[in-house]
A = this chain, B = another copy of it.
Amino acid sequence: MSRDSKRAIVNAAITLFNVNGFNGTSIRDIAKKAKVNPATISYYFDNKHGLLEHCFTIFFEGYVKCIEDGFSLLDKGAASCLKRITENIMYYQVENMYLTRLILREISIDSQMVREIMSTYLMKERFYLSKVFEKGIKTREFKKLTADYSILQLKGFLSMPFLNTQYMTEVLHILPNEKYFAEKYAGEIFHWIDGVVCNPLYERIYLAVK
């Protein structure tokens, strides 16, 4: 029961924060939508900021897991590792579309909470992704690129459709919550990995060494 009401509160908060914004939503609104007493929210999350922080934590715990899971394949090659990470994040974000949208918008605001999130989760993300790029560059599987710029591009790819869901549906007529989209879009990022990140001479170098 307590677990259910906690989940109902979080889901109500995600919906309302997305529709009315964080500042435009009150604890009372969330309580009403989640069908709980406002005191229950205070009990679990202290206040609205605590609730938002909880959303950040849920999101990034899962997000970093996606990266770690793909990172464990680094020994099998940098490109396939990067593809696995991409795929994991894509499916994770499709599955948690509303939460993703909320987080991607809130992370762009300059606040103490965002700074803390950055110094933990996003530094961890950068750590893993840098390792993948460094390994790829070292083994010549990747071109000599600036890892941070590639991380930036990868993150641009992965964020755009989920932050701008209305633009997607109303202007481009693409539905980002469909499995078809996840597959096709992951494929597009793979083209970027193959055509921009990977060294076209690698196969030849690799075979020559063998």
Contact = CB atoms under 8 A, between A and B. Distances in A.
Integer count of this chain's copies in the complex: 2
Interface residues of A, number: 51
B23 A171 contact: no
Contacts of A174: 148-149, 152
A57 interface: no
Contacts of A105: 105, 108-109
Interface stretch (A32-40, A45-53, A191-199, A202-210): A191-199
A118 B40 CA distance: 40
Contacts of A148: 172-174
Contact of A126 (B160, B172, B192): B172
Interface in A147-192: 148-153, 155-161, 163-164, 166-168, 170-174, 184-185, 188, 191-192
B196 A191 contact: yes
A23 B109 CA distance: 13
A123 interface: yes
7 contacts: A21-B21, A23-B24, A101-B108, A149-B174, A152-B160, A152-B161, A153-B160
Interface of A: 18-19, 21-24, 101, 104-105, 107-110, 114-115, 118-119, 122-123, 126, 146, 148-153, 155-161, 163-164, 166-168, 170-174, 184-185, 188, 191-192, 195-196
Minimum-distance CB pairs A-B, first 3:
A156-B160, A23-B23, A195-B195
